[in-house]
Amino acid sequence: MAIPAHIRDNLRMPVIGSPLFIVSGPELVIAQCKAGIIGSFPALNARPAEVLEEWIVRIKTELAEYQAANPDKKVAPFAVNQICHSSNDRLEHDMEICKKHEVPIIITSLRPPAFVVEAAHSYGGVVYHDVINVKHAKKAAEQGVDGLILVCAGAGGHAGTLSPFALVREVKEWFDGTVILSGAMSDGASIAGALAMGADFAYMGTRFIATQEANADPAYKESLIKHAAEDIVYSNLFTGVHGNYLAPSIVDAGMDPNNLPEADKSKMNFGSGGNTKSKAWKDIWGSGQGIGTIEDAPAVGELIDRLEEQFRDAVNDFNGRLIGDAAATKAAAE
């Protein structure tokens, strides 16, 4: 199974805009879905808890109205991210709201509890779980998730260290669900590369921080435009889980990005910096390694147009090379 038909048929491109803590709100998600890619947000971004229902109703309403006014457009479904960790005391409440409003896609992080899968499947929803290695992938698959998000080296925020060439191929040896690839993708050629490796979706987050609809500090967006892969630091100090962050934001918080201590895992906190006075995501900015290609902060619709053009150029270039190589081989044989 690749992408389920009811999702695939409403996509312009096989891309999921990953959930971004603080940054992803209704404006960004709606813009992504209208442009034909799956938009998502962390449930914990809706604060207080009662706001989650308001956001979901708004997203569903605006997308339905847009689809009705534009019947020929591909309007993608949306996803809500649930942090499945003991520090999240909202999980059961938030899943009840998602079940009530039949959120099409649930993205789970850290642990994939069976009740989330059961709740989503009860109304026909699907669950995609993010993992950084095969061990975690197999545990998630055992609990019935529909897809695995392979968070590879270079991904923004919480990320693993494995090459996508290794992890994608190993997972596809035994998993027949949807495979989603995350890690340093910021342009259309990267999307084409993800599909060439065998992924069904590209999972892109950092690139959407630098857009008009993103709820991010203008300085954050500008920093993504100014910097490149060499400015990314991998550390577990800020939440207790390893992730990639912009070094300049660490410097601004009064720390040396080249000399960060290991985290005290007993103080893990995914909404703030449990091991520092600086708050993760608010003061310490997450970023993937693919920022070297980010040159501006356009509207989401304009960005998707650009990604699609880059994607087609990359595919055409690849096909041209194959045809050229085949022709050269034939000529040599003759």
pLDDT tens digit at each of 334 positions of the chain: 588 999 999 999 999 999 999 999 999 999 999 999 999 999 999 999 999 999 999 999 999 999 999 999 999 999 999 999 888 899 999 999 999 999 999 999 988 778 999 999 999 999 999 999 999 999 999 999 999 999 999 999 889 999 999 999 999 999 999 999 999 999 999 999 999 999 999 999 999 999 999 999 999 999 999 999 999 999 999 888 899 999 999 999 999 999 999 876 655 555 544 445 556 667 899 999 999 999 999 999 999 999 999 999 999 998 888 766 655 555 555 5
Per residue in 266-296, pLDDT (tens digit) is 555 555 444 455 566 678 999 999 999 999 9
Question: Residue 213 and residue 195: Cα distance in Å, rounded?
Answer: 27
Class of domain 5-214+299-318: alpha beta
pTM score, whole prediction = 0.92
Supply φ then ψ for residue 254, to 5 degrees. 90, 20
Residues 6+ apart with CB under 8 A from 174: 138
Res 233: pLDDT: 96
Supply φ then ψ for residue 157, to 5 degrees. 65, -145
330 Rama sector, left if φ>0, alpha if ψ -120 to 50, beta otherwise: alpha
Res 272: pLDDT: 45
Beta bridge partners of 39: 78
Sheet holding 39-42, edge to edge: 15-17, 201-204, 178-182, 147-151, 126-131, 105-109, 78-83, 39-42
Strands 15-17 and 201-204: parallel
**Cis peptide bond upstream of 48, omega within 30:** yes
* Sole residue written with tokens 């709100």: 25
Answer whether 190's CB lies under 8 Å from 211's CB: no
Domain boundaries, the chain: 5-214+299-318, 228-286
